[in-house]
């Protein structure tokens, strides 16, 4: 069965191009494409996508607000932000809202399938310029203090894998443990760090020098 992708994009030409691109794939299918996210929750419940491609600047409700609403009812769907915005505040607002990844539109066609695959495998895809921005921001705003989160050695090793951008499967292979075991440890890591997703976990790990 193909992985279902839902698109929110108010640029008609770009939206149609994304739909065509996704539907040429053997493993993905577009189940819906909308120019606004006013009905995002009803869309989510009706279409049951595994992946959402979300623009930020849309009429009625912006993409960041939509991500926040989605996360109130669904923690598992992968949400990849597609946008022209690359300023610090917009990036971090999207990450804090619960986005799974963040790609600039100028790179989306060459990186889209890889980003979707990475996010489904537990990764957090970021365009290179966005990744650099995140790391620079964390370096500039690090307090220099090390938080006490009582992570086990195994949890630290897995957290280090997340920081390196590894998928859950690659972490499992690297540490010679099961995929489900990795998922269980990551849930424990999120609970101990008081975060909700991989991007937040990586940000806290770097800021507090946990790895």
pLDDT tens for each residue of 141-177: 555 444 568 889 999 999 988 887 788 888 999 999 9
CATH code of the domain containing 157: 1.10.10.10
Percent with pLDDT over 70 in the chain: 88
Domain shared by 56 and 13, yes or no: yes
Containing structural domain, residue 194: 144-207
Predicted TM-score (pTM) of the model is 0.68
Domain shared by 157 and 119, yes or no: no
Q: Which helix (H) or strand (E) holds 103?
A: strand 101-104
Domain shared by 117 and 177, yes or no: no
Total tally of structural domains belonging to the chain: 2
Task: Name the residue among 74, 75, 37, 42 with its Cα closest to residue 53.
Answer: 37
Compute the distance between CA of residue 52 and CA of residue 19 in angstroms, rounded to an integer: 12
Q: Give residues with Cβ within 8 angstroms of 194, minimum separation 6.
A: none
Domain shared by 184 and 86, yes or no: no
Domain shared by 131 and 192, yes or no: no
- pLDDT tens digits for range 60-112: 889 999 999 999 899 889 999 988 876 667 777 787 788 888 888 888 888 89
Q: What is the dihedral of CA 72, 88, 197, 11, to 10 degrees?
A: 60
């Amino acid at each position: 069965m193909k992985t279902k992708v839902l698109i929110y994009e108010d640029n008609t030409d770009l939206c149609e191009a994304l739909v065509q691109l996704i539907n040429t794939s053997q493993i993905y299918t577009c189940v819906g494409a909308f120019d606004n996210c006013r009905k995002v929750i009803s869309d989510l419940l009706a279409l049951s996508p595994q992946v959402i491609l979300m623009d930020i600047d849309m009429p009625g409700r912006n993409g960041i607000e939509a991500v926040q609403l989605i996360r109130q009812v669904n923690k598992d769907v992968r949400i990849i932000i597609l946008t022209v915005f690359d300023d610090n505040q917009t990036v971090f607002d999207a990450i804090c809202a619960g986005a799974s990844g963040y790609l600039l539109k100028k790179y989306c066609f060459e990186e889209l399938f890889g980003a979707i695959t990475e996010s489904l495998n537990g990764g957090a895809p970021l365009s290179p310029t966005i990744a650099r921005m995140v790391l620079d921001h964390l370096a500039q705003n690090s307090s220099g203090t090390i938080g006490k989160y009582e992570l086990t050695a195994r949890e630290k090793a897995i957290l280090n894998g997340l920081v390196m951008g590894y998928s859950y499967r690659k972490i499992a292979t690297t540490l010679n443990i099961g995929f489900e075991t990795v998922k269980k440890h990551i849930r424990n890591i999120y609970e101990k760090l008081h975060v909700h997703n991989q991007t937040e976990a990586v940000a806290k790990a770097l800021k507090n020098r946990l790895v």
